[in-house]
Structure 1
Amino acid sequence: MPTIKEIKAIAKDRAIELPKKAKKADMIHILQEQEGNNPCYATKQCNIDVCLWYKDCQKAIK
């Protein structure tokens, strides 16, 4: 389960600027969009279990 700090590090490595006061889900949605994927984190609209965010996503929707 990635922390906010880890999410920010991933974004930095990918040269993606995240809003300063974004929520965790919003940050992940931005990263998903930049990957060319549907921004589905914590929306119950995903079944792709190979996604980097999948395990955390499943916990977030429960």
Structure 2
Amino acid sequence: MKIQKVRSIAKTKEVNSSRMSKGEIIRAVQEAEGNFPCFGTARDGFCDQKDCMWKEDCLPPG
């Protein structure tokens, strides 16, 4: 997902995304949604979050 789309989603969640990296913004959005801020933290390419909208950007292609 492009950074412009990520920033747009952040804005709808009232997350101030200025001066934040893409990963930081996504983790802030995850927290704002009441979810665990896990973006980019999966080990060995394993993620148990089946319905995560960030999964494609988070995990390496495999």
Q: Provide TM-score, normalisation by structure 1.
A: 0.79
Structure 1 equivalent of residue 16 of structure 2: 17
Which structure: larger Rg? 2
Letter in 1 for 2:32: Q
Cα deviations by residue, 1:3-58 (Å, 9 ceiling, x for unpaired): 1100110111222222x221111110000000111110010163112101011111
Higher RCO, Cα 8 Å, sep 6+ = 1
The correspondence of residues 1-62 of structure 1 with structure 2, limited to 5 A, is 2-18=1-17, 20-44=18-42, 46-59=47-60
Alignment coverage as a number of residue pairs: 59
Runs of 4+ in 1 over 3 A off after TM superposition: none
Q: Please, which runs of 5 or more residues in structure 1 have no aligned partner?
A: none
Percent identity over paired residues: 32
Larger % of helix: which?
1
Q: Please, which runs of 5 or more residues in structure 2 have no aligned partner?
A: none
Q: Provide TM-score, normalisation by structure 2.
A: 0.79
